[in-house]
Amino acid sequence: MSVRESTAASVRRVAVFAATTARPTTERERERRRIAIMCLPFFALATVAGFVPLAMLVRMSVAADVIWIEGWSLDAWRTLLTEPTYRRVAWNTVWFVGLATVVSVVLGVAVAHVLEKYDLPFERVVVAAVSFPIALPGIIVAILVIAMLGRQGLVTNAIAAVTGTSAIDLASATAITGLFLGYVYSLVPRATMVLRGTYAEVNTQAEEAARSLGASRWETFYRVTLPEIRPGIAAATILTFRSGLAIFGTVLLLQSHYVITLQIQREISVGTYRPDVAAAIGLVYVVFIVAFTFVGLRFVRTDTVTL
Amino acid sequence: MSEVTLESLTKRYGDELAVDGIDLTIRDGEILGIVGPSGCGKTTTLRTIAGFETPTRGRVRFDGVDVTHVPPEERHVGLVFQSYALFDTMTVRENVAFGLKMRDVPQRERRERASALLEMLDIAALADRRPTTLSGGQQQRVGLARALAIEPHVLLLDEPMTGLDAALKARLRTEIRDLLADLGVTAIYVTHDQEEAMAMCDRIAVLNAGTVEQVGTPSAIYRRPANAFVANFIGNSTLLTGVAEDGRVDLGFAELEVAAATNGTVTVAVRPEAFEFEREGSIDAEVTSATYLGDRTQLTATLPDDTTVALHADAAETYRTGETVSLSIDDTSVHVLE
């Protein structure tokens, strides 16, 4: 079959597919139409809120205005690749958010374990308290951190009083720690929510079988529970890392560590106004997130965990 | 293997009394069945023996040693579950060797002992497969091999055959009974299936509302039920009221030559097979339903005093609803309840 014939055949197949979806006669075709109708709003939204802004970002990264009037250049991309500042910001972002993700997922496992394995008094109150930070804007989290670990913070002054050190020195020394705790505070609930769903699927009788066979509580967790919740841990890691990368309010207020979101804000601030670089950073960010999610999903069994 | 003793075992969840002062001894090498309706305390008793529940009152002893507060991992108890509860992330061989690994048995010995058990249970060919790829019967064999691998003081089986089909159940039942007898394992077999308990167990304990109604051999429980509950729960019984006097019981429509402990009003448990079909029997009963079951026809009929009875009739005969059948009662097959 020639290329022309095969193209014509493909076009015919697509046309038949579209026609049968629009006017279905079999149950399979009717199901396809239901799927199409249900997915339509999402694709409409994805187009307006996803594809169009992405196309705009591509354009902004190479041209300040309409391409055929202004022309285009790769200056922004050249800047991104050559200036050490951007490599430093990228590395800062990855290690900081990566560490916050690891700590948050470990804490999430512990919290999910306690919530799912034990009959807690006031369990609903505990669940509400654990999930509460999800609803908090980043700015509020930053204010909480300042209230606790700032120069006049409760914890800072308590430690200063006990150790005899200066509260100002202490607050400066722990500035990045405060930001880290703010990140963890925001991310733990996300990890916990995903892991709770996974924990609910854990075969408790298999855990009891392990105990009866001589495994301690820790060995049972390590050898039976942990392998079972591994897909949940992978899912929680993906979600938490992605959420961590997107945190902006907290870091904007605390400014104790330069990460990607803060750098984008800098690029579009008065004085250093470089929207083309901001757009290029944004595109790198999107590509990284998509690639990370695809790689991460290889470790997630979609029948046990959804993202 | 061990003798297991339960002393005044009581378990309360809030206001609910799940187990109410059970005293029971499971002899060394014996298979004891625990049967009873849902919620009677069977599984709670089993979990208490395994160490997953701490009794509110009472003690659990293995060979006289008090293990009431010993954690499950130190009790040396094998558990076989209805849901198999295998480790899906491990192979069949790793499942069977798990308990040995927890006991720091060297890898080579673990492998040999696991292989021997897999061979014994006829699943050696499945050693490298994952449990999720096996049938229900195969998974249950793996569960049994895994529990036996640690040579437990006592093997606890919690409704292990509930999910299996009838033919497989019948085959596995015989295999497990013979295997446990060969190994001399002390076993407690919880089931709601009385037929399974009778086929598998040396003795049966019938539980009701957290208490033991009767403990005895399958034959004793069937032929001489201690009370109306056991008579009705184990097999099918018709309970007839009569007046006992000097070794005879007058039912009103028939007289039985059967000894009762006291004279006066008594309850007599009559099994379906105790009713004999006669050409001219002493009792006329009206057939209310007839169900052909292949090896027999199961009838329900109304006696002259309006009591409904279950009867086992010859499958070769045809019975119609409304027909009158002539019966007699075999005196040797009835039991006067105390």
Most confident of A102-106, A246-250, B119-123: A102-106
- pLDDT class of B113 with cuts at 50, 70, 90: very high
Is B88–A228 a contact, with Cβ atoms under 8 angstroms apart?
yes
ipTM of the complex: 0.85
Show residues of chain B in contact with A209, CB under 8 Å: 79, 81, 85-87, 143, 146-147
pLDDT of residue A301: 57
Is B99–A227 a contact, with Cβ atoms under 8 angstroms apart?
no
- The minimal CB distance from A211 to the residues B72, B83, B103 is found for B72
pLDDT tens-place string over residues B43-65: 999 999 999 999 999 999 999 99
Question: B78 to chain A nearest CA, in Å?
Answer: 6
User: Average pLDDT of B109-138?
Assistant: 93
CB atoms near residue A96 (< 10 Å): 20
pLDDT of residue A304: 47
A286 pLDDT above the threshold of 80? yes
Token couple for B201: 């167990």
User: How many percent of chain B have pLDDT more than 90?
Assistant: 59
pLDDT of residue A256: 83
What is the DSSP pairing of strand B154-158 with strand B187-191? parallel
- pLDDT class of B1 with cuts at 50, 70, 90: low
pLDDT tens-place string over residues B8-46: 999 999 889 999 999 999 999 999 999 999 989 999 999
B289 pLDDT above the threshold of 70? yes
Helix A75-82 and helix A84-117, axial crossing angle in degrees, nearest 10 = 70
pLDDT of residue A173: 67
- The minimal CB distance from A215 to the residues B73, B76, B147 is found for B73
CB-based contact (8 Å) between A214 and chain B? yes
B165 pLDDT above the threshold of 60? yes
Q: Which of B54-58, B127-131, B138-142, B170-174 has the lowest mean pLDDT?
A: B170-174
Residues B111, B179: contact at Cβ < 8 Å?
Answer: no
Show residues of chain B in contact with A216, CB under 8 Å: 73
Task: Tell me phi and psi for residue B158, to 5 degrees.
Answer: -105, 95
User: Average pLDDT of A263-280?
Assistant: 88
pLDDT tens-place string over residues A3-61: 888 889 999 999 988 888 888 889 999 999 999 999 999 989 988 888 888 998 998 88
CB-based contact (8 Å) between A304 and chain B? no
A302 pLDDT above the threshold of 80? no
Based on its alpha-carbon atoms, the radius of gyration of chain B, rounded to whole angstroms, reads 24
Is A216–B86 a contact, with Cβ atoms under 8 angstroms apart?
no
**Pick from A254, A267, A201: nearest CA to A232:** A201
Is B72–A212 a contact, with Cβ atoms under 8 angstroms apart?
yes
Task: Tell me phi and psi for residue B312, to 5 degrees.
Answer: -105, 115
Q: Which of B46, B89, B157 to mutate to test the interface with A (most CBs of A within 10 A)?
A: B89
Question: Which residue of chain A comes nearest to B72, CA vs CA?
Answer: A212
Is A219–B102 a contact, with Cβ atoms under 8 angstroms apart?
yes
For A41-57, give the DSSP string: HHHHHHIIIIIHHHHHH
pLDDT tens-place string over residues B291-324: 999 888 999 999 988 889 989 998 888 889 999 9
User: Average pLDDT of B119-125?
Assistant: 91
pLDDT of residue A185: 94
- The minimal CB distance from A213 to the residues B71, B83, B102 is found for B102
Q: Where in chain A is the domain with CATH 1.10.3720.10?
A: 74-304
pLDDT tens-place string over residues A147-190: 888 888 888 889 888 988 888 887 776 788 889 999 999 999 99
Note the CATH architecture for domain A74-304. Answer: Orthogonal Bundle (1.10)
Residues A240, A289: contact at Cβ < 8 Å?
Answer: no
How many CB pairs below 8 Å do chains A and B form together?
67
- The minimal CB distance from B81 to the residues A205, A213, A215 is found for A205
**Start-end of H helices in A83-174:** 84-117, 123-131, 138-149, 154-163, 167-173
User: Average pLDDT of B255-281?
Assistant: 85
Q: Which residue ranges form the domains of chain B, and what is each CATH number?
A: 4-228 (3.40.50.300), 238-337 (2.40.50.140)
pLDDT of residue A306: 45
Show residues of chain B in contact with A215, CB under 8 Å: 73, 98, 102
Residues B122, B144: contact at Cβ < 8 Å?
Answer: no
**Pick from A91, A95, A63, A89: nearest CA to A76:** A63
Its sign, for the CA torsion A54, A59, A65, A67, is negative
Q: Which of A203, A212, A216, A301 to mutate to test the interface with B (most CBs of B within 10 A)?
A: A212
Is B50–A208 a contact, with Cβ atoms under 8 angstroms apart?
yes
User: Average pLDDT of A243-252?
Assistant: 90
- pLDDT class of B105 with cuts at 50, 70, 90: very high
Residues B212, B205: contact at Cβ < 8 Å?
Answer: yes
pLDDT tens-place string over residues B213-263: 999 999 999 989 999 999 989 888 888 888 888 888 888 888 888 877 778
pLDDT of residue B163: 76
Token couple for A225: 């529970």
CB atoms near residue A149 (< 10 Å): 22
